Structure 1
Amino acid sequence: MVDEAVLKNAIETAWTVYRARHSDVDAQDSRRCLLERHLHSRSEARRSDTEELAGFGIAYLQRLAGDES
Protein backbone atom coordinates (compact mmCIF):
# COMPACT_ATOMS: atom_id res chain seq x y z
CA MET A 1 0.00 0.00 0.00
CA VAL A 2 1.18 3.49 -0.78
CA ASP A 3 1.91 6.18 1.81
CA GLU A 4 -1.12 8.40 2.55
CA ALA A 5 0.89 11.56 1.79
CA VAL A 6 1.80 10.19 -1.66
CA LEU A 7 -1.85 9.33 -2.30
CA LYS A 8 -3.04 12.78 -1.19
CA ASN A 9 -0.45 14.50 -3.39
CA ALA A 10 -1.43 12.37 -6.37
CA ILE A 11 -5.12 13.20 -5.89
CA GLU A 12 -4.40 16.93 -5.57
CA THR A 13 -2.13 16.90 -8.63
CA ALA A 14 -4.58 15.00 -10.81
CA TRP A 15 -7.52 17.14 -9.71
CA THR A 16 -5.60 20.39 -10.27
CA VAL A 17 -4.48 19.35 -13.75
CA TYR A 18 -7.97 18.17 -14.66
CA ARG A 19 -9.60 21.42 -13.48
CA ALA A 20 -6.98 23.46 -15.34
CA ARG A 21 -7.99 21.69 -18.54
CA HIS A 22 -11.72 21.87 -17.77
CA SER A 23 -12.48 25.31 -16.37
CA ASP A 24 -16.20 24.54 -16.19
CA VAL A 25 -15.63 21.88 -13.49
CA ASP A 26 -16.38 23.08 -9.97
CA ALA A 27 -13.93 22.35 -7.15
CA GLN A 28 -16.66 20.35 -5.35
CA ASP A 29 -17.62 18.29 -8.41
CA SER A 30 -18.54 14.66 -7.66
CA ARG A 31 -15.77 13.46 -9.96
CA ARG A 32 -13.28 14.35 -7.23
CA CYS A 33 -14.79 11.67 -4.99
CA LEU A 34 -14.66 9.18 -7.86
CA LEU A 35 -11.02 10.10 -8.44
CA GLU A 36 -10.19 9.58 -4.75
CA ARG A 37 -11.82 6.16 -4.71
CA HIS A 38 -10.15 5.15 -7.96
CA LEU A 39 -6.65 6.14 -6.86
CA HIS A 40 -7.15 4.64 -3.42
CA SER A 41 -8.02 1.28 -4.98
CA ARG A 42 -5.03 1.52 -7.33
CA SER A 43 -2.71 2.37 -4.48
CA GLU A 44 -3.85 -0.71 -2.58
CA ALA A 45 -3.19 -2.92 -5.59
CA ARG A 46 0.49 -2.01 -5.76
CA ARG A 47 3.08 0.45 -4.56
CA SER A 48 3.22 3.59 -6.71
CA ASP A 49 4.72 7.03 -6.58
CA THR A 50 2.92 10.37 -6.70
CA GLU A 51 3.57 11.01 -10.39
CA GLU A 52 2.42 7.58 -11.45
CA LEU A 53 -0.77 7.77 -9.39
CA ALA A 54 -1.47 11.31 -10.64
CA GLY A 55 -1.10 10.07 -14.21
CA PHE A 56 -3.57 7.25 -13.53
CA GLY A 57 -5.94 9.80 -12.00
CA ILE A 58 -5.76 12.19 -14.95
CA ALA A 59 -6.38 9.33 -17.38
CA TYR A 60 -9.34 8.18 -15.28
CA LEU A 61 -10.88 11.67 -15.22
CA GLN A 62 -10.45 11.97 -18.98
CA ARG A 63 -12.34 8.70 -19.43
CA LEU A 64 -15.12 10.01 -17.19
CA ALA A 65 -15.31 13.19 -19.28
CA GLY A 66 -15.52 11.07 -22.44
CA ASP A 67 -18.42 9.07 -21.01
CA GLU A 68 -20.45 12.28 -20.60
CA SER A 69 -20.25 13.17 -24.28
Structure 2
Amino acid sequence: MVDEVVLRSATETAWSVYRAHHPEVDPQDSRCCLLERHLQRRGEDRESDTEELAGFGIADLHRFFRDGC
Protein backbone atom coordinates (compact mmCIF):
# COMPACT_ATOMS: atom_id res chain seq x y z
CA MET A 1 0.00 0.00 0.00
CA VAL A 2 1.34 3.40 -0.94
CA ASP A 3 1.72 5.88 1.91
CA GLU A 4 -1.12 8.42 1.76
CA VAL A 5 1.21 11.37 2.47
CA VAL A 6 3.61 10.31 -0.29
CA LEU A 7 0.73 9.84 -2.72
CA ARG A 8 -0.86 13.22 -1.94
CA SER A 9 2.48 15.04 -2.14
CA ALA A 10 3.44 13.38 -5.42
CA THR A 11 0.04 14.16 -6.94
CA GLU A 12 0.16 17.80 -5.87
CA THR A 13 3.73 18.20 -7.11
CA ALA A 14 3.05 16.65 -10.51
CA TRP A 15 -0.18 18.63 -10.95
CA SER A 16 1.50 21.92 -9.96
CA VAL A 17 4.47 21.39 -12.26
CA TYR A 18 2.24 20.41 -15.16
CA ARG A 19 -0.06 23.40 -14.67
CA ALA A 20 2.92 25.76 -14.38
CA HIS A 21 3.88 24.74 -17.91
CA HIS A 22 0.26 24.59 -19.12
CA PRO A 23 -1.63 27.48 -17.48
CA GLU A 24 -4.61 26.92 -19.76
CA VAL A 25 -5.44 23.74 -17.83
CA ASP A 26 -8.28 24.29 -15.38
CA PRO A 27 -7.19 23.70 -11.77
CA GLN A 28 -10.30 21.52 -11.28
CA ASP A 29 -9.69 19.36 -14.36
CA SER A 30 -10.81 15.77 -13.75
CA ARG A 31 -7.47 14.42 -14.94
CA CYS A 32 -6.04 15.32 -11.53
CA CYS A 33 -8.17 12.54 -10.02
CA LEU A 34 -7.11 10.20 -12.80
CA LEU A 35 -3.51 11.08 -12.01
CA GLU A 36 -3.94 10.21 -8.34
CA ARG A 37 -5.41 6.79 -9.20
CA HIS A 38 -2.54 6.05 -11.60
CA LEU A 39 0.05 7.06 -9.02
CA GLN A 40 -1.62 4.94 -6.37
CA ARG A 41 -1.38 1.89 -8.61
CA ARG A 42 2.26 2.65 -9.42
CA GLY A 43 3.04 2.98 -5.73
CA GLU A 44 1.33 -0.31 -4.95
CA ASP A 45 3.29 -2.11 -7.68
CA ARG A 46 6.60 -1.24 -6.04
CA GLU A 47 8.21 0.85 -3.34
CA SER A 48 8.19 4.48 -4.48
CA ASP A 49 9.08 7.82 -2.98
CA THR A 50 7.45 11.19 -3.56
CA GLU A 51 9.93 12.39 -6.18
CA GLU A 52 9.74 9.19 -8.20
CA LEU A 53 5.94 9.17 -8.17
CA ALA A 54 5.82 12.88 -9.08
CA GLY A 55 8.07 12.18 -12.07
CA PHE A 56 5.78 9.37 -13.20
CA GLY A 57 2.84 11.72 -12.64
CA ILE A 58 4.20 14.44 -14.90
CA ALA A 59 4.78 11.87 -17.65
CA ASP A 60 1.26 10.50 -17.12
CA LEU A 61 -0.27 13.98 -17.37
CA HIS A 62 1.48 14.64 -20.68
CA ARG A 63 0.05 11.37 -21.97
CA PHE A 64 -3.48 12.06 -20.60
CA PHE A 65 -3.68 15.45 -22.28
CA ARG A 66 -2.09 14.24 -25.53
CA ASP A 67 -4.47 11.27 -25.74
CA GLY A 68 -7.51 13.29 -24.72
CA CYS A 69 -8.30 11.26 -21.60
TM (norm. structure 2) is 0.91
Unpaired runs of 5+ residues, structure 2, are none
SS at match of 2:43: helix
How much does 1:67 deviate? 1.4
Match of 1:30 in 2: 30
Aligned to 1:10: 10
Identity percentage of aligned residues:
69
The count of corresponding residues between Structure 1 and Structure 2 is 68
Alignment of 1:1-69 (within 5 A): 1-68=1-68
Task: Compute the TM-score of the two structures, normalised by the length of structure 1.
Answer: 0.91
Q: Which runs of 4+ in 1 moved over 3 A?
A: none
Structure 1 spans left out of the alignment, 5+ residues: none
RMSD, aligned α-carbons: 0.9
